[in-house]
Structure 1
Amino acid sequence: MSATSSATSLWPAPTAAGPVRATVRLPGSKSVTNRALPLAALAEGPGTVRRALRSRDADLMAAALRALGAGLTPSAETASSVDWHVVPGPIRGGVSIDVGLAGTVMRFVPPIAALADGEVRFDGDAAARRRPMGPLLAALRALGAHVEGDALPCTVRGPIRGGEVTIDASASSQLVSGLLLAAARFEKGVTVRHSGPPVPSMPHIQMTVQMLREAGVHVDDGEPDVWRVEPGPIAARDLVVEPDLSNAAPFLAAALVTGGTVTVPDWPERTTQPGDALRGLLTEMGATVTRTPEGLAVTGTGRVSGIDADLHDVGELTPTIAALAALADGPSTLRGIAHLRGHETDRLAALATEINRLGGDVRETADGLEIRPRPLRGGVFHSYEDHRMATAGAVIGLVVPGVQVENIATTAKTLPEFARMWARMLEGDA
């Protein structure tokens, strides 16, 4: 793990002058967008993915699917959303794909490439080469594909037969989702068995299963840690992407730490997004959470309570919860998140290092963090090219003057307009 900064890449995190009162309209979910696009590219006919997220991760997914032969035509574009009209085409090889630092691209696209009769080469950012990918590539080999490499860079070539495979998906739920998304196009479908420590972020697999079923794919997940997908067509659809609930985390946290109210419109009544867990987590930390005609509203008192939480299924919320815990009036324990050491950076080490750099008291445990309250001071908060680290620094900066977040632009991974939205939230409108 490394951290770098320069005077030109430091963003002075704004300090709130008083309670934040704002409505924050969020762009589409990255998790939904980067599942909907592959399903549309593999469907039996053209379809449309509306209000899709426009971000680095989503743009990398669109570029990868285009390289493999799908037609993607954008319309209704804004800085952070787009409607994609997707025309499936024969999966072709002989191309190179840049996965950037996007876990969804590096794990969802290789199984699609295994349908091609030519070689597809994958590589990405330097940090992506350290992210867990070996179990997926081994599974593709076992299912009949030709694979060279056990991590990035690697090459994949079909044809893939499908069948039954056992993997250890304890490092990332995406290892399972990647196999399931393309499996209906495999000759034999797929049966995926997980063997190992518990799979993290299970709501993301539930999201994958739900979206497959909505596209007419038969999925059996009735046996624990086993998923069966039957071969068959994937229906062409017109899908509207939900707002990204995980990206709501720093904005809703702003209400809690400043004693204000932040409302997120269009919060779904039912969803498989892990970000929906914010309702319960923020309530435990002292917020009042209500549904209003305008959306989901979170109101704080300016006082933050410590929390003892198992975040195994919602690990992506950890940076925001850790930032809140560093500002709380009592100790916190965050558990079940050892897998975060294999994300964009080692998030546990990064959070401990950066909060402690500001005067905090954070200790790494075998599977999480112990955070004890101490007065924080200003200073540089490194992002490690990790979008959620950057937003965690912004949350602390709301009430700790002098925090400077290194490389706030890394938030473009999932929320390209973050800095502007943050400023507008403090003005009372986002």
Structure 2
Amino acid sequence: MGVLSVEQLHLDGPLQWALPPSKSHFIRWLALAAQSSDTMRIGFSQEPGLDVVSMADCLESLGARVERRQGEWIVSGVGDVGFSNPGGTLDCGNSGTTARFLMAIAAGMSEEIRIDGDDSLRGRDMSAISGVLRDLGCSVSGDTLPLTVTGPLQMDSARLDLSTSSQPLSAVLLASPRFPFPIKLELDGSSVSRRYYEMSFEIAESCGSQNRFCEGEIGIRPWKVIVPNHVTVPTEESLVPIAMLISELHQVRMELSGLSEFISPALISLAEQSAVLDLRDESDLICPASVLMAIGNGGRIIGAAHSRGKESDRIGSTVYLLRAFGMDAQATEDGLEIPGGQSPSRPEFPIDSHRDHRLAMTAMVLASRCGGTISNHEICSVSDPGFIPRLLGLGD
């Protein structure tokens, strides 16, 4: 277990801040490029996180080729030959997205595929995707990692609850080019993280898919993946609140490079200090957003019940983090009640990051204002390998 001590930084603006490539976009492009008969170049700025590396490593074990260059990866897919037996366990590291996507990919194969991850990932619930794959006639040995998936599909319909995660729907869609026949999914629950399955359908469409999302029941047909020659991965918008938090804590202007022109509704609400922040579709923001509300005008976070199933129970762990830094919030069924006008103070004990990269980043930014010690700080690398030197370098 690594431990990092961060002392108070004294910052003068304006400060430059870079965002890593979006791991959600990157992993989806990798999943489709690996199935094509073509070669695709994936361009990006900064350094991909370890979640992206885990996906690339696993796809290489299945027979794809990924040439990794500075600022560009070149992916050569398996084409009509299809994926091959990896001859060992597929290690997903800390990436829940990678694990769920690979489970669906394994369902399109005709042999037992073993999937595992680190201790944190082993504690995450995979029952939504494993249930769908069982409905489709696959054998899945468990609902947590390590587990095995044995295909191919035998049935053509399944039920999927969208109220806890959108990843199983994305996983099935992006693995469907290798399915032996069309399937139907009966969709239940009030969907969350809708932007992510919308992203999956958009990327799939750009690679030849004619599948479209619709409420209630959706048909997914296999298709031949035809990838663009080149794509550019956008920056990780979900880490913008980290830069916002640095700005507010130190009262400096931050200049972000490579930010998309599209700003999500939750980010707009956060910037406007809205009294109610709905994170139904953007629960990844909850840690830094809660601190911003605590040092600002306060308010309520709603729609984030599904964040309890992330790398940590992010509602509970956010309350823990605020209290460790001398602030407070109350957990609700689907979010937090946060008083405003609070100020952080140095924790009396090392902060447990719960091996949650977003919690660790938020803790380090707080420590940059008042000092503190964070355990398992290296977990930040799953989304942003350059985060720690970039943060500490602001004080140079």
What is the distance in 1 between the residues matched to 2:377 and 2:266? 23
2:374 equivalent to 1:414? no
| Kept after mapping to 2: 8 A contact 1:68/1:95 | no
> Displacement, 1:356?
1.0
Instruction: Pick the aligned partner of 1:280 from 259, 263, 268.
Output: 268
> Displacement, 1:62?
0.7
| Kept after mapping to 2: 8 A contact 1:11/1:408 | no
Name the counterpart of 2:337: 370
How big is each residue's C-alpha offset from its partner over 1:176-198, in whole Å with a ceiling of 9 and x where there is no partner?
Answer: 111111113212233323213x2
2:102 equivalent to 1:109? yes
Name the counterpart of 2:316: 349
> Displacement, 1:82?
4.2
Name the counterpart of 1:337: 304
Where do residues 180-199 of structure 1 align in structure 2 (5 Å cutoff)? 180-196=173-189, 198-199=190-191
How big is each residue's C-alpha offset from its partner over 1:193-230, in whole Å with a ceiling of 9 and x where there is no partner?
Answer: 3213x222110111101100111101221x32544332
Q: Cα–Cα, structure 1 residues 375 and 248, in superposed 2: closer, same or farther, change >3 Å?
A: closer
How big is each residue's C-alpha offset from its partner over 1:35-62, in whole Å with a ceiling of 9 and x where there is no partner?
Answer: 1101101123222222285221111101
Q: Give the letter aligned to residue 241 of structure 2.
A: A
What is the distance in 2 between the residues matched to 1:268 and 1:20? 22
Q: Cα–Cα, structure 1 residues 256 and 354, in superposed 2: closer, same or farther, change >3 Å?
A: closer
> Displacement, 1:426?
4.3
What is the distance in 2 between the residues matched to 1:109 and 1:350? 28
2:15 equivalent to 1:27? no
Name the counterpart of 1:327: 295
Q: Greater shift after overlay, 104-113 or 45-54?
A: 45-54
> Displacement, 1:34?
0.7
Q: Greater shift after overlay, 48-57 or 413-422?
A: 48-57
What is the distance in 1 between the residues matched to 2:120 and 2:268? 33
Q: Greater shift after overlay, 227-236 or 156-165?
A: 156-165
Name the counterpart of 1:256: 248
Instruction: Pick the aligned partner of 1:84 from 74, 96, 113.
Output: 74
> Displacement, 1:260?
2.3
What is the distance in 2 between the residues matched to 1:260 and 1:370? 27
Q: Secondary structure at the match of 1:231?
A: coil
Name the counterpart of 1:230: 221
2:212 equivalent to 1:220? yes
| Kept after mapping to 2: 8 A contact 1:12/1:403 | yes
> Displacement, 1:279?
4.1
What is the distance in 2 between the residues matched to 1:58 and 1:162? 31
Name the counterpart of 1:293: none
Q: Secondary structure at the match of 2:329?
A: strand
Q: Cα–Cα, structure 1 residues 307 and 323, in superposed 2: closer, same or farther, change >3 Å?
A: same
Q: Secondary structure at the match of 1:95?
A: coil
Q: Cα–Cα, structure 1 residues 331 and 132, in superposed 2: closer, same or farther, change >3 Å?
A: same
What is the distance in 2 between the residues matched to 1:118 and 1:369? 45
What is the distance in 2 between the residues matched to 1:122 and 1:57? 15
How big is each residue's C-alpha offset from its partner over 1:98-150, in whole Å with a ceiling of 9 and x where there is no partner?
Answer: 12221111111111112222211011122222212112112112223232223
Name the counterpart of 2:259: 267
| Kept after mapping to 2: 8 A contact 1:143/1:165 | yes
Instruction: Pick the aligned partner of 2:167 from 169, 174, 191.
Output: 174
> Displacement, 1:250?
0.7
What is the distance in 2 between the residues matched to 1:254 and 1:278? 18
Instruction: Pick the aligned partner of 1:318 from 261, 286, 290.
Output: 286
Q: Secondary structure at the match of 1:312?
A: coil
Name the counterpart of 2:124: 131
Q: Secondary structure at the match of 1:216?
A: coil
Name the counterpart of 1:405: 374
What is the distance in 2 between the residues matched to 1:14 and 1:163? 58
Instruction: Pick the aligned partner of 1:383 from 331, 336, 353.
Output: 353
Name the counterpart of 2:37: 44
Q: Secondary structure at the match of 1:411?
A: helix
Q: Give the letter aligned to residue 314 of structure 2.
A: R
> Displacement, 1:415?
0.3
Number of residue pairs the alignment of both structures matches = 388
> Displacement, 1:152?
1.5
Name the counterpart of 1:296: none
2:219 equivalent to 1:240? no
Q: Greater shift after overlay, 224-233 or 234-243?
A: 224-233
Instruction: Pick the aligned partner of 1:68 from 62, 82, 101.
Output: 62
Cα RMSD (Å) of the superposition? Answer: 2.2
What is the distance in 1 between the residues matched to 2:328 and 2:147? 41
| Kept after mapping to 1: 8 A contact 2:140/2:148 | yes
Residue ranges of structure 1 left out of the alignment (5+ in a row): 1-5, 286-305
